[in-house]
A and B are shown apart, each in its own frame.
Chain A
Amino acid sequence: MRKSGFFPRLALVNLARNGRFYGPYLLSCVVTAAMYYILLFLAYNEGLDSVRGAMYLKSFAGVGCFVAAGLAAVILLYANSFVMKRRQRELGLYNILGLEKRHIARMCFWETVFCAAVSLAGGLLLGILFSKAVILLLLKLARVPAQFGMEISTRGIWETAALFGALFLFTLARNLWSVSRAKPVDLLHSASAGEREPKTKWLLVILGVLTLGGGYFIAIATQNPIEAMLFFFGAVFLVIIGTYCLFTAGSIAILKRLRANPKFYYQTRHFTAVSGLLYRMKQNAVGLASICILSTMVLVTVSTTIAMNIGLENSLNEMYPYDIEFLQDLENQPGDPMDRLREVEAAANASGGFTDSRYYTRYWVYCGVRGSEISLNLDQNCLRAEVEVVTAEDYSRLTGKNVILAPDEVLACSKGPADFPSDFTVSANFGEAGLSFHVREEITEVIRHATNKLLGSEESSLFLVVADRETAETLMDLDTSRSARQFRVQMNLAGEDYEEKLAQTERLVFELSKRDGGVSFTSKQDNAQEFYAMYGGFLFLGVFLGLLFLLATVLIIYYKQISEGCEDQRRFLILRQVGMSEKEINASIHSQILLVFFLPLGAAALHVFMAFPMLSRMLELFNLHDGKLFVLCTAGTLAVFCLIYALVFAWTARAYSRLVGANS
């Protein structure tokens, strides 16, 4: 009688003996499980709720969970099918040696149980250990002071266990299914079945060229940032299809073309390379295209999120020209603006001081523009524009220029309506009589005020400097229900850095809140909290998912190297016997392997290069106009990625050389 522990022990021995295959498989399972747990941990973390902007962090973590779960499924299924394919012969042998299929099934069962146990235990342990470090990193990125102790998310543990349990169960079912269908002789010979010569699929080549070209065209031709945002995923989709088609069919078409030319083909250097590549591409095209797509995703997510983070300061400066801005709505909040100014300055001094301050009255109204007519009421055939009005007195004080205007003269800065006329009228409704103005000078700098609009608007705007307060008031009186008059005080606080200024803002606002009628204000630092949380979350997600993609890439490269190595063992031997020196064979095979593995990287770099115009358009929506910064971020990310890729390649190439060298 067999002892009850026979199958578990057999399974353990099998796993150990196939360590070359199972090692990376388990390692990637462990890492994916750990990352999945960490994302769940963040998504369910209650301590984060007290942090401002935590909503972003948590929802990003939630999105990350989905992506990570999908990627975990891909990694597990891919690695499992690879390992099982390599083990067909071994299983066939067991069958022939007298293990019945149900015994093999029991063996498979135990193998899966051990794999699942190791992956889950290792993954959860790693996840729990690193979750603290990750949350600290995330809070650092979001510029929130850390305050939590060590925590463990039971819900995270359960959900990780459930996901991976289900995935392992699925792989087990698949393995059992393939074992139950196979005949032992097939199992023995499956590895040595002759490879048919690949056929050129012209339809796929054409489809690939069209989709890739279409994707690139969209990426380059789209000028409008909002359209770029809309079309981006369409372009990504087209490029993915194009990449798969061209890697599978295009490469083979090119190689066949090369082979059809005897003058080129029958040369020592090209002969083995061309025919070898033909088969390598047939077997590996899909894997390589996947590597290419994954690499592109890593590059795009990481470079854009880094650029956004570095560019955030600029965006903030754009949105909030001063640290804090107080606002008095002259129609609804009574009191003399000058009293307000003094009050605010006194409070600022009491709460730590300020470095500079300025004040002005801002009049604004939404208007319709049609030709040289501006109407406070819109109708269908006009351009909608935000009109801002500042008096010459305020403008002179704020800019240091000495501007004196006649009542019908203005300085204008227009964004949107092209060729703004030098003479125009303003009225309550189109067609009515109104006030006539003459543009004395076009100006380029406007008086900026704080805005919470993150997305750069495509809206037209018109900035006018008018002669005096009366003119401005007359303009606004055309329709009092639509226009607004605001007295604004802007100041920079004396605090050294973000944290000090934030604290000072709190004191200042507390101070002012004691007065009657409260206070309206916009604080750069206070708003920045949310942006830091959001952009920090973006960067975190970008890098975290980038790492996951990278893991998948590394795993695919490793398995590809191993399968290539197994294939090449025999080829190597034959070539040697026919009269190729070891050096020549090494050179030939290495150049093929290099080409095969660096083709995806090259294609990914090309994709990123082509996507660049579109990505920079999209970043403009986030007030990131610094093209040079984005170029640097992309180039930097690409360089680091190439380095990692090369290291991974060098490391996996060792596994390959060991395989090929073993038999010679």
Chain B
Amino acid sequence: MPLLEVQHLQKIYTTRFGGNQVTALADVNFSVESGEYVAIMGESGSGKTTLLNILAALDRPTAGEVFLNGKALSDIRERDLAAFRRSHLGFVFQDFNLLDTFSLQDNIFLPLVLAGKDYRDMKKKIQPIAEQLGIAGILPKYPYEVSGGQKQRCAVARALITDPQIVLADEPTGALDSRAADNLLELFGEINKGGQTILMVTHSVKAASHAGRVLFLRDGQVYHQLYRGTQSAEAQFAKISDTLTVLTQGGEPRA
């Protein structure tokens, strides 16, 4: 059974006074196995963010269903949603979304504190993650005191500390310079090798080329997908670029 299964997902936005309807997702189908590293690519307006919001249970689809571990998201009651999000999903955002009022350590603790965990357990959990992400030395600092790359690694730590079944990343390298971006992508690779399932939405060909599989979204549908297999990231990079070229020219994919 796949870890995440998306079936016939449809999302139609209706403007407030009922006039125009905008189809963000027409009919999206795909599944993610446990331990996979999947990137979703697409132009602006292709429905990436809508898809991610639905996967994160922040938004409800108009039709279709999302199953996590065989459990339909729509079956979860509204008041259990927050707890579900907290314990099963981890989030990494383009602009980090760290709270300025917390130190980095407290930002990482946030989901655990919300879950009512004991302080000593939190302390134990943060140690290995901080070491792995190379942020052990800056934990007492505040978000405005550290670089973008460091902020994003803290955001990753916050996503990982709850041992989520799947990490959802929204354009995680978008606000980073190229070195910090490379660094982060390497970390994602390592984390994935450790068995963590990752689903990443991105514009960046480079980011996508690190993933095990790339899904291409166009006009609210999964248009094409590429498996990396045993290829190097560089070779994958070329293939993705080609696909994107075809995609933007509106033609049919080659493979």
Determine whether B124 belongs to the interface, using a CB cutoff of 8 Å to chain A: no
Cα–Cα, bound, A581→B57 (Å): 11
Is the CB of B109 closer than 8 A to any CB of chain A? yes
Q: Pick from A571, A573, A578, A580: contact of B158, CB below 8 A.
A: A578
Indicate whether B93 reaches chain A with its CB closer than 8 angstroms: yes
Binds B, one of A270-278, A409-417, A486-494: A270-278
Given contacts A577-B85, A580-B82, A584-B114, 11 further A-B contacts (CB under 8 A): A263-B119, A275-B106, A276-B101, A574-B98, A577-B93, A578-B91, A578-B97, A579-B85, A579-B111, A580-B86, A584-B82
Please, which residue of chain A has its CB at the minimum distance from the CB of B79? A581
Q: Are A579 and B99 in contact (CB under 8 A)?
A: no
Task: List residues of B (72-114) whose CB comes within 8 Å of A's CBs.
Answer: 79, 81-83, 85-87, 89, 91, 93, 97-102, 106, 109-111, 113-114
Q: Which residues of A contact B122 (CB under 8 A)?
A: 266
Q: Is B149 an interface residue (CB 8 A)?
A: no
In the complex, A583 has a CB within 8 A of chain B: yes
Binding site for B on A (CB under 8 A): 194-197, 262-263, 266-268, 271, 275-276, 278-279, 571, 573-584
B85 near A574 (CB under 8 angstroms)?
no
CB A266 to nearest CB in B, in angstroms, measures 4
State in angstroms the CA–CA spacing of A578 and B115 once bound together.
11
Contact between A577 and B91 (Cβ–Cβ < 8 Å)? yes
Check A197–B142 contact: CB distance below 8 A.
Answer: yes
Query: A579 touching B113 by the CB < 8 A rule?
Result: no
Would you give the 0/1 interface string for B160-192, flagging 1 where the beta carbon is closer than 8 Å to chain A? 000000000000000000000000000000000
Q: List 8 A-B contacts (CB under 8 A).
A: A195-B101, A196-B142, A271-B106, A279-B101, A577-B56, A579-B114, A581-B83, A584-B114
List A contacts of B100 (CB < 8 A).
194-195, 279
CB nearest to B110 among chain A residues: A578
Shortest distance in angstroms between B77's beta carbon and chain A's nearest beta carbon? 11
Provide the residues of chain A in CB contact with B102, threshold 8 Å: 275
Indicate if the CB atoms of A194 and B119 lie closer than 8 Å: no
Q: Number of residue pairs across A and B with beta carbons under 8 Å? A: 77
B86 nearest CB neighbor, chain A only: A579
**Is B12 in contact with chain A by the CB < 8 A criterion?**
no
B144 touches A268 (CB 8 A): no
CB-defined contacts of B98 to chain A, threshold 8 Å: 574
Which of chain B's residues have a CB closer than 8 A to the CB of A271?
Answer: 106, 109-110, 113-114
Closest to B162 in A: A579
Cα A233 to Cα B116 with chains together (Å): 51
The answer, yes or no, to whether B212 is at the interface (CB within 8 Å) is: no
Chain A's nearest CB lies how many Å from the CB of B54? 14
Q: A278, B111: Cβ atoms under 8 Å?
A: no
Residues of B participating in the A interface, judged by any CB pair closer than 8 Å: 56, 58, 79, 81-83, 85-87, 89, 91, 93, 97-102, 106, 109-111, 113-116, 119, 122, 142-144, 158
What residues of B have a CB within 8 angstroms of the CB of A278 in the complex?
101
Cβ-defined contact, A262 with B119, below 8 A? yes
Q: Which residues of A contact B158 (CB under 8 A)?
A: 578
CB-based contact B86/A268 at 8 Å? no
- Residues of A near B144 (CB, < 8 A) are 194-196
Q: How far apart sit A579 and B56, CA to CA, in the bound complex (Å)?
A: 10
Q: Within 8 Å CB of B99, what residues of A?
A: 275, 571, 574-575
Q: Give the residue among B79, B87, B97, B116 with the most A Cβ atoms within 10 A.
A: B97
- Minimum CB–CB distance from B87 to chain A (whole Å) comes to 8
Q: For residue A263, which residues in chain B have a CB less than 8 angstroms away from its CB?
A: 119
The prevalent SS among residues of A at the interface is helix
For residue A578, which residues in chain B have a CB less than 8 angstroms away from its CB?
86, 91, 97, 110-111, 114, 158
CA distance in complex: A581, B87 (Å): 13
Q: B87 — nearest CB in chain A belongs to which residue?
A: A579
B80, closest chain A residue (CB)? A581
Q: A275-B102, A578-B158, A579-B86 are in contact. Are A268 and B91 (CB under 8 A)?
A: no
Q: Cβ of B142: which chain A residues have Cβ within 8 Å of it?
A: 194, 196-197
Chain B residues positioned under 8 Å from A276 (CB to CB): 101
* CB of B47, distance to nearest CB on chain A (Å): 19
CB distance from A583 to the nearest CB of B (A): 7
- Inter-chain CA distance A573–B81, complex, in Å, is 15
Q: What is the distance, in angstroms, from A593's C-beta to the closest C-beta of chain B?
A: 15
Question: Bound complex: CA of A578 vs CA of B86, how far in Å?
Answer: 6
3 shortest interchain CB distances as A-B pairs: A194-B144, A579-B86, A581-B82
Smallest Cβ-Cβ distance to A259: which chain B residue: B106
Closest to B168 in A: A577
Q: Enumerate chain A residues within 8 angstroms of B113, measured Cβ to Cβ.
A: 266-268, 271
Q: Which residue on chain A has the smallest CB distance to residue B89?
A: A579
Asked if A577 contacts B101 (CB within 8 A), the reply is no
Distance between Cα atoms of A581 and B158 in the complex (Å): 17
**When chains A and B are docked, how far (Å) is the Cα of A197 from the Cα of B111?**
22
Bound CA span A271–B117, Å: 12
Find the residue from A263, A278, A574, A582 having the highest chain B CB count within 10 A. A574
B83 touching A576, Cβ below 8 Å: no
What chain B residues lie within 8 Å of A584 (beta carbons)? 82, 114
Residues of chain B lying within 8 A (CB to CB) of residue A576: 58, 82
Does the CB pair B101–A268 fall under 8 Å?
Answer: no
CA distance A636 to B106 in the complex (A): 46
- Smallest CB separation, A177 vs chain B (Å): 28
Q: Bound state CA distance, A278 and B101, in angstroms?
A: 8
B97 to chain A, nearest CB (A): 5
How many angstroms between the C-alpha atoms of A575 and B79 in the bound complex? 15
Bound: A579/B143 CA distance, A: 20
Chain A residue at minimal CB-CB distance from B112 = A266
Tell me if B114 and A268 are in contact (CB < 8 A).
yes
Which residues of chain A have C-beta atoms less than 8 A from B86's C-beta?
578-580
Is B114 a contact partner of A194 (Cβ separation < 8 A)?
no
B97 touches A577 (CB 8 A): yes
Q: Are B119 and A266 in contact (CB under 8 A)?
A: yes
CB distance from B111 to the nearest CB of A (A): 5
Pick from A197, A575, A576, A581 the residue with the most CB of B within 10 Å. Answer: A581
Contact at B82–A268, with CB atoms within 8 Å? no
For A574, give the chain B residue with the smallest CB separation: B97
| Chain B nearest CB, measured from A142 CB (Å) | 55
Q: Are B58 and A580 in contact (CB under 8 A)?
A: no
**Complex contact A579–B101 (CB within 8 A):** no
* Distance of A276 Cα from B97 Cα, bound (Å): 16
Please report the C-alpha to C-alpha distance between residue A577 and residue B143 in the assembled complex, in whole angstroms: 18
Q: Which residue of A lies closest to B145 (CB)?
A: A194
User: Which residues of chain A are within 8 angstroms of B101 by Cβ–Cβ distance?
Assistant: 195, 275-276, 278-279, 571
Whether A268 lies near B116 (C-beta < 8 A) is: yes
Cα distance A581–B56 in the bound complex, in angstroms: 13
What residues of chain B lie closer than 8 Å to A582, measured between beta carbons?
82
Min CB distance, B56 to chain A, in Å? Answer: 7
- Find out whether the CB atom of B109 lies under 8 angstroms from the CB atom of A266: yes
Nearest B residue to A262 via CB reads B119
Contacts of A580 in B (CB 8 A): 82, 86, 114
Is the CB–CB distance between B58 and A577 below 8 Å?
A: yes
Q: Residues of A contacting B58 with CB < 8 Å?
A: 576-577
Task: From known contacts A194-B143, A271-B110, A275-B106, infer whether A579 and B97 are also in contact, taking CB-CB under 8 Å.
Answer: no
Q: Which among A197, A267, A571, A573 has the greatest number of chain B C-beta atoms within 10 A?
A: A197
For A196, the chain B residues whose CB sits under 8 A away are: 142, 144
Q: Assess A579 versus B116: contact at CB under 8 Å? Given A266-B109, A276-B101, A574-B99.
A: no
The complex places the Cα of A307 from the Cα of B81 at a distance, in Å, of 57
List of A residues within 8 angstroms of B85 by Cβ = 577, 579
A473 to B97 alpha-carbon distance, docked (Å): 97
> Using Cβ atoms and an 8 Å threshold, which residues of chain A touch B143?
194
Q: CA A582 – CA B119 in complex, angstroms?
A: 24
Interface centre among A266, A571, A583, A584 (most CB of B within 10 A): A266
Measured between beta carbons, the chain A residues less than 8 angstroms from B82 are: 576, 579-582, 584
Q: Which residues of B contact A279 (CB under 8 A)?
A: 100-101
Across the interface, which residues of B come within 8 angstroms of A577, CB to CB?
A: 56, 58, 85, 91, 93, 97
